[in-house]
Structure 1
C-alpha cells in the first residue's frame, strides 16, 4: 500500500505543482489502484508516473471545485484507449454525474468499460472483506468530503513450531488450520486451528481529506490513522485568508493530526504563491506542532506502514 501524489497544488497549477490528484496503490492487497480527485492534467501526470490507468478501480472525488475534477473526462476516455476494460466506480458529491455525463455524451466519448456512479453521503460508502471506506463532510465553501480508508485486520501467522510439535504434516491441513478449522490427524490427535494462529495483524488506516478549514470531522476521520493527507494551502501568517476561503494553514493541519493521534501527516494542496524553497516554511510550521510531518511534491510516493515511525 502506497500513496502516490500526481498533483499537490491548490486552485492554480504552477510550474512545480499540478492541481490535486492522489493515488492509493493496492497492488499487493487487490491488484488495483484507487484515485482521490482528478484535477486538470492528471492523465498527463500519470503518463510520467509508474501508475497505469487500466488498474484504476475506484475514483473518489472530495468536492466539485474545478481543480479537483476537470481532469475526469480526459482520464476516463484515455483509460479506454489504453485498454482498460474493468469497471470503474466513481464516488462523489451530488451533482457529479449530472456534470460529467453531458461532457462524455456531447463529446461522443466511448468508454470500453462500465462507469458506475455512487453519490457520496456521510458514513460508510464502501465495504467488502478487505476494506471499509468511511466519509464525512468537512468545512468548505461547498460540500467537501474526507475519506477514511480502513484495511481490515488480517489473520495471524501460523505457529509453525507448534504445528511441528503436534505432528501436523505439511500440506492441505495447514490451509484448514490457518482458516481456524478443527482437524483430526491420522493418529487421532485433534487440533484446534484457532490455537495455532497468532494474533490478527492490524490493518492500515489512511485518511485523505478534501479542502477544509480545521474542523471536528477532519479529526474524527484521522483518529489513529497511519497516514493523514491534509491540505495546507497557506502558512499561519495568512490565517485570515485561509479562514475567509475555507482552507487550512499548515499549523491547522498539524494541530488536527496531533489531536487525532495520527502517526504521520502529509501536507498537500499548496498555494502557487509558495515556490519550492518557500514551501519549506509550511513544513517547518507544521513540524513545530506535529514532528512526523512531510510535505508532498508531485510524483512523491509514501509507503504506508502500520507501525508508528
Structure 2
C-alpha cells in the first residue's frame, strides 16, 4: 500500500509505520540528533532553568489575562494598518481567509509553514475553491507534492528518501534530475522563486504576537517566510490566540528558549518582526496585511 493510500484505521496505520524500516530509522536518527543538539545548546546557557521559569511566568500571566492582551494587540495592529479578524472555530477561519481571497480576486496563495493552516485544513478548502495553494517550506512542499500530511512538526518530510524526493521533483518539473542534494535544492529554489514572485497572497504562521506593538514574529530557517510576507500584494497571518505575549522584552525570553528547545539552535536563521503593511515611502512589504486569530477550542 502506498503512503498516499494510507489506511484510515489508526491501528492499521501504526502497523504500517512500524513495518517501515526507513521510517523507523529516520525518526530515530532525527530524534537523537535533535535531542543531542538541544542538550548541547542548553548546556552553553547559564541559568537555563531560570530562563524556562521566566518563560513559564510570561505564558501563565498572558493566558490569565488573554482577553486584555488580545484586545491590546488588535488595537495596536489596526493602528498600523493591519486588519485583525477573530475566528471562533476552524470554519470561521476558513471563511475569513476565503473572503480575503475573493476580495483580492486571488488565484495563487504562497504559504510559509503554518500548523494552524494544517489544523483547519486550509489547503483543502483553497483547492475546493479552485485557488492554487503552494507550500514554500521545502519539507512542506515535498509533502504537498506527495499528497500527504506532515509526519513531524519540525521536519515534515522526515519519512521521505532522497530517491523519493527526486521522483517527486522530476514529476513536478517534467525533467530529469539526479539525487544529488545540491541538484534537488537548486530545482526547488528555482521553482519556488517563481511562486514567490507571482503569488497574489502570501500566508505565514505566527510564533509570537506582541500585544504592546501589534507586531507578529516569525522564526524560520529557509528564508521563505520573508519572501512570502513581503513580495505578494497581500499578507495573511494565521495565528493561534495562545501566541500572544505582552511586550518586546518578553520576546527576548521566548527567542532565548524557542530555537534551543525546538532545533538546538541559538537562534534561527531568520527572525521577522512584522508590523503592518507597507508604509508610504517604503519599497518593501505588502499593500495589505491581515491577521486571523483562531480560538477553535483554545479559550
For the criterion TM > 0.5, the same-fold answer is no
Q: More helix by proportion, 1 or 2?
A: 2
Q: More strand by proportion, 1 or 2?
A: 1
Question: Please, what TM-score do these two structures have when normalized by structure 2?
Answer: 0.29
Greater relative CO (CA pairs within 8 A, separation 6+): 2
Larger Rg: 1
